[in-house]
């Protein structure tokens, strides 16, 4: 007689995942794949992935990798190739502030990996991290997964998505460890002027906070947009600044990012050792892609022509701005930088509007994939994000479809609201 097998049970997962959200590649993206498998043609505006819209990494980056493939078989130092770190430190030092050596540079498999390592090296259970709202949701996820607690400071459309230093300081507790800035911002496209950064640095100095500066869009600016590296303002204050190849150089698939740890050597010494240990545990970053870093930093500027009037990104942004101006329902704070727009829907005209339900309806009825604004950790549900990467003509078509969907939705919402 044989014992019957024990009933199969599901493998339990980490409870920390319950509070992690990443709708950019989540439920709506899965539904989009299902529709595509049925033969539907979709316009997918959910990811800032230049290569998916016909952009190519500059030729001199490709050539740098090809020329060094034979030297790419071994692991490199856990912090990265000396050549790539030397180029990054040189760029950092040109920008001013506290000078750093290549030993203060950490190469990673994209900025995403480095954000996770940076928070893992910093946080103990219950520690708090000040994050912008809206934020890029990886920051919230990495904080939670490393035992921390996100505390959000508002960047509202009414204030052009700029942070309020007074609100930030009022949010600090004895458990606060770091202040995160995303500049230029994803998803809003806001850029921060130097007086604002100086005010935030003073707050971090008063409360002994680590500054974490996500500057992956540092070269993508439009019209009045400006970029001031946070480290150049922070001086001797500990600051970890992130950059990479994926956006400015349109090389997402290379998975090459970097972090530069600046500030007083004695204050950052232990944190530097922690980052080095974590870097060693994952052995090293992708070696072939790192050979493109010196070429990217010291080579020709290939982004400014795209963001200037007449350039592809500029004209796509113009198409979005004009479409929102014409819309009965939409408002927009014109993005000053990055690759996104973050329109809002007028709740007086569409009462009861819900960003997630609308995104699903837009996908099903109009074949357009957007990201609900609430995915970026905001308390309201009347915004959505689109990427600016398609051609201007396609952006105009997208917003015609969005307007059609809102026209259909408005009477239904008004009837429901009255009822």
pTM, full prediction: 0.93
Among candidates 193, 146, 276, which has minimal Cα distance to 181?
Answer: 193
* pLDDT at 417 (0 to 100): 45
Q: Which CATH number fits domain 59-298: 3.30.1490.20, 2.40.40.20, 1.20.1250.20, 3.40.640.10?
A: 3.40.640.10
Q: How far apart are CA 244 and CA 267, in angstroms?
A: 25
**How does pLDDT run across 328-379, given as a tens digit for each residue?**
999 999 999 999 999 999 999 999 999 999 999 999 999 999 999 999 999 9
Q: Are 178 and 211 in contact (CB under 8 A)?
A: yes
Q: So where are the chain's domains?
A: 19-48+309-418, 59-298
Tokens of 307: 């963001």
Q: Give the pLDDT confidence score for residue 143 in this predicted structure.
A: 97
CA distance 359 to 370: 6
CA pair distance 304, 311, nearest whole angstrom: 8
SS3 content of the chain, % helix, strand, coil (to 5): 45, 15, 40
Residue 17 is predicted with a pLDDT of 75
Structure confidence at residue 419 as a pLDDT band (50, 70, 90): very low
CATH code of 19-48+309-418, in short, is: 3.90.1150.10
Task: Catalogue the E-assigned strands of 201-329.
Answer: 210-214, 239-244, 257-262
The predicted-structure confidence for 213-223, as pLDDT tens digits, reads as follows: 999 999 999 99
Question: How far is residue 168's CA from residue 164's CA, in Å, rounded to a whole number?
Answer: 6
Per-residue model confidence (pLDDT) at position 418? 41
């Amino acid at each position: 007689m044989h014992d019957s097998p024990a009933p199969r049970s599901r493998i339990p997962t980490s409870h920390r995942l319950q509070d992690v959200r990443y709708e950019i590649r989540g439920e709506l993206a899965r539904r989009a794949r299902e529709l595509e498998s049925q033969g539907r043609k979709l316009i997918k505006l959910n990811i800032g992935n230049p290569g998916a819209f016909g952009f190519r990494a500059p030729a001199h980056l490709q050539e740098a990798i090809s020329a060094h493939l034979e030297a790419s078989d071994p692991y490199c130092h856990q912090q990265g190739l000396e050549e790539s770190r030397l180029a990054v430190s040189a760029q950092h030092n040109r920008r001013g502030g506290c000078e750093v050596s290549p030993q203060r540079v950490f190469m990673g498999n994209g900025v995403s990996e480095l954000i996770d390592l940076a928070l893992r090296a910093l946080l103990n259970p219950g520690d708090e991290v000040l994050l912008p709202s809206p934020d890029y949701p990886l920051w919230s996820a990495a904080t939670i997964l490393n035992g921390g607690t996100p505390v959000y400071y508002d960047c509202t459309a009414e204030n052009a998505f700029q942070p309020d230093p007074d609100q930030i300081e009022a949010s600090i507790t004895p458990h606060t460890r770091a202040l995160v800035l995303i500049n230029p911002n994803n998803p809003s496209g806001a850029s921060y002027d130097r007086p604002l950064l100086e005010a935030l640095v003073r707050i971090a100095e008063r409360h002994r906070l680590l500054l974490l500066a996500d500057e992956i869009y540092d070269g993508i600016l439009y019209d009045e947009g400006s970029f001031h590296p946070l480290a150049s303002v922070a001086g001797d204050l500990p600051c970890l600044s992130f950059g990479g190849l994926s956006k400015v150089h349109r090389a997402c698939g290379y998975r090459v990012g970097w972090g530069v740890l600046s500030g007083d050597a004695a204050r950052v010494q232990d944190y530097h050792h922690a980052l080095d240990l974590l870097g060693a545990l994952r052995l090293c970053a992708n070696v072939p892609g790192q050979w493109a870093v010196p070429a990217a930093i010291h080579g020709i500027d290939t982004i400014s022509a795209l963001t200037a009037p007449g350039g592809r990104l500029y004209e796509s942004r113009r198409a979005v701005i004009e479409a929102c101006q014409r819309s009965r329902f939409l408002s927009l704070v014109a993005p000053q930088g990055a690759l996104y727009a973050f329109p809002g829907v007028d709740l007086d005209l569409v009462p009861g509007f819900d960003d997630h339900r609308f995104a699903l309806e837009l996908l099903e009825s109009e074949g357009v994939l957007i990201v609900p604004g609430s995915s970026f950790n905001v308390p309201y549900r009347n915004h959505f994000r689109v990427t600016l990467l398609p051609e201007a003509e396609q952006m105009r078509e997208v917003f015609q479809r969005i307007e059609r969907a809102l026209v259909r939705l408005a009477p239904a919402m008004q009837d429901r609201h009255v009822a």
